[in-house]
Copies of this chain bind each other. A is one copy, B any other.
Amino acid sequence: MAATSDRTVYRATTTAPVNIAVIKYWGKRDATLNLPTNSSLSVTLSQRSLRTLTTASCSAIYPAADELILNGKPQDIQSSKRTLACLSNLRSLRQALENADPSLPKLSTLPLRIVSENNFPTAAGLASSAAGFAALVRAIADLYQLPQSPLELSRIARQGSGSACRSLMGGYVAWRAGEREDGSDSLAEEVAPASHWPEMRAIILVVSAEKKDVPSTEGMQTTVATSSLFATRAASVVPARMAAIEAAIQNKDFPSFAEITMRDSNSFHATCLDSWPPIFYMNDVSRAAVRLVHDINRAVGQTVCAYTFDAGPNAVIYYLEKDSELVAGTVKAILGSNTEGFDGPFYDILKSVTASGVPLDKIDSRVVEVLKNGISRVILTGVGEGPISVEDHLVSATGDILSS
């Protein structure tokens, strides 16, 4: 029977997580291959809070051109070199399997239909590309039954979106910059599984839309090309921090983990400010979150929380579960329970908390006011697992697009 008359719909579905870097990726040494100027390290966040769900399917009944539907909207794959690179790499790996074992169905020759949905709150302003490309690569690799390890697949996901390579694994994940020109050694690897240090928690403070910064010119390449401080960061600051934070993770040393995390976030934003023209991601609300963390740590007398900021004003605050009341409890006391997001699986421990973890008179009063007016929602989460294979397919057995 010719492939064209076979009406089989092959499917595989996966969820993939968001990751938030503690050592920041900023700057590419090769923009086509997404090779970074420095290594980075992230915490994979629990898919009980945030996840992308992706079904990869292929069938002879599909139109000839590969299809990608994100949150219900068909995407123009042909205009996305990054997506094309991922698909082409994965097809080649499948083809190699098929060449080695002629009994396998020729999936590499069939059109793909990929359907993906995020469960992120629309207003969260979270970059979804990392989870999205990780899910896409993992789902197709499952569809194709590829034997490659997550480490090997990270080389492909990286080409979709740099930080996506870190979402292929759970726990604490390093992306080694590598040295080779072809990027073959620029891979993500698990530094420690979530089970090694499962107590890590994160609360994401989402800055209200109307409090967003004045628009900033985008672009890490601006920093690489223009910042006179960036080379020092890439060449010496980050390598030292990578070694130190990996040791902190191995030793479950939260104060060290926290200080390195905060300093690296500051260093990253410093090189943005040093770019020309300057790039600003943090705003007054972000800075109030910085101050909140320092005030909580000072009030407690030890480092129980750490902030980090990506390319936007939202704060991610890491803490350990045992300090939930001190950290998330204080945030809740400041924001009030009317703020969206005080719910979900990570809220249980806070349900019974009524007083502020740290007395609010230990927090600068202007910080309290700026946060109260500037934060519209929180997301409670924690360290979690890598992509998970599931049966909630977004494509029916007959090839129809479903909704989750």
Binding site for B on A (CB under 8 A): 213-215, 228-229, 231-233, 236-237, 259, 262-263, 266-267, 269-271, 273-278, 280, 283-284, 287-288, 290-291, 294, 364, 366-367, 370
One complex includes copies of this chain to the number of 2
> How far, in angstroms, from A228 to B263 measured CA to CA in the complex?
10
Q: Are B278 and A266 in contact (CB under 8 A)?
A: yes
Partner of A213, one of B231, B266, B287: B287
For A294, the closest partner residue in chain B by CB is: B277
For A298, the closest partner residue in chain B by CB is: B277
> How far, in angstroms, from A267 to B274 measured CA to CA in the complex?
5
> How far, in angstroms, from A139 to B333 measured CA to CA in the complex?
56
Beyond A266-B274, A267-B229, whether A288 also contacts B366 by CB under 8 A is no
> How far, in angstroms, from A134 to B231 measured CA to CA in the complex?
39
> How far, in angstroms, from A275 to B306 measured CA to CA in the complex?
15
Q: Which chain B residues lie closer than 8 Å to A228 at the CB level? A: 232-233, 236-237, 263, 267
Q: Which chain B residues lie closer than 8 Å to A231 at the CB level? A: 232
- 12 pairs of residues in contact across A and B, judged by CB atoms under 8 Å: A214-B364, A214-B367, A228-B236, A228-B263, A229-B229, A229-B233, A229-B237, A266-B275, A269-B273, A270-B274, A280-B287, A283-B284
> How far, in angstroms, from A294 to B214 measured CA to CA in the complex?
12
> How far, in angstroms, from A396 to B112 measured CA to CA in the complex?
93
Q: Are A214 and B267 in contact (CB under 8 A)?
A: no
Going nearest first, the 4 A-B pairs with the smallest beta carbon separation are A270-B274, A270-B270, A232-B232, A229-B229
For A288, the closest partner residue in chain B by CB is: B214
Q: Which chain B residues lie closer than 8 Å to A233 at the CB level? A: 228-229
17 more A-B residue pairs beyond the given contacts A214-B370, A269-B273, with a C-beta to C-beta distance below 8 A: A213-B284, A214-B284, A214-B287, A214-B364, A214-B367, A228-B233, A228-B263, A229-B274, A262-B276, A262-B278, A263-B274, A263-B276, A266-B276, A273-B273, A277-B294, A278-B290, A280-B290
Q: Which chain B residues lie closer than 8 Å to A270 at the CB level? A: 229, 270-271, 273-274
> How far, in angstroms, from A187 to B231 measured CA to CA in the complex?
32
Q: Are B214 and A366 in contact (CB under 8 A)?
A: yes
For A238, the closest partner residue in chain B by CB is: B228
> How far, in angstroms, from A270 to B268 measured CA to CA in the complex?
10
> How far, in angstroms, from A98 to B290 measured CA to CA in the complex?
58
Cβ distance A212 to chain B, nearest Cβ, rounded Å: 8
Q: Which chain B residues lie closer than 8 Å to A229 at the CB level? A: 229, 232-233, 237, 267, 270-271, 274
Cβ distance A251 to chain B, nearest Cβ, rounded Å: 21
Q: Which chain B residues lie closer than 8 Å to A269 at the CB level? A: 273
Q: Are A283 and B291 in contact (CB under 8 A)?
A: no
> How far, in angstroms, from A345 to B61 measured CA to CA in the complex?
80
Cβ distance A278 to chain B, nearest Cβ, rounded Å: 5
For A266, the closest partner residue in chain B by CB is: B278
For A366, the closest partner residue in chain B by CB is: B214
> How far, in angstroms, from A96 to B399 measured CA to CA in the complex?
99
Q: Which chain B residues lie closer than 8 Å to A366 at the CB level? A: 214-215
> How far, in angstroms, from A262 to B233 measured CA to CA in the complex?
21
Q: Which chain B residues lie closer than 8 Å to A259 at the CB level? A: 276
> How far, in angstroms, from A263 to B276 measured CA to CA in the complex?
7
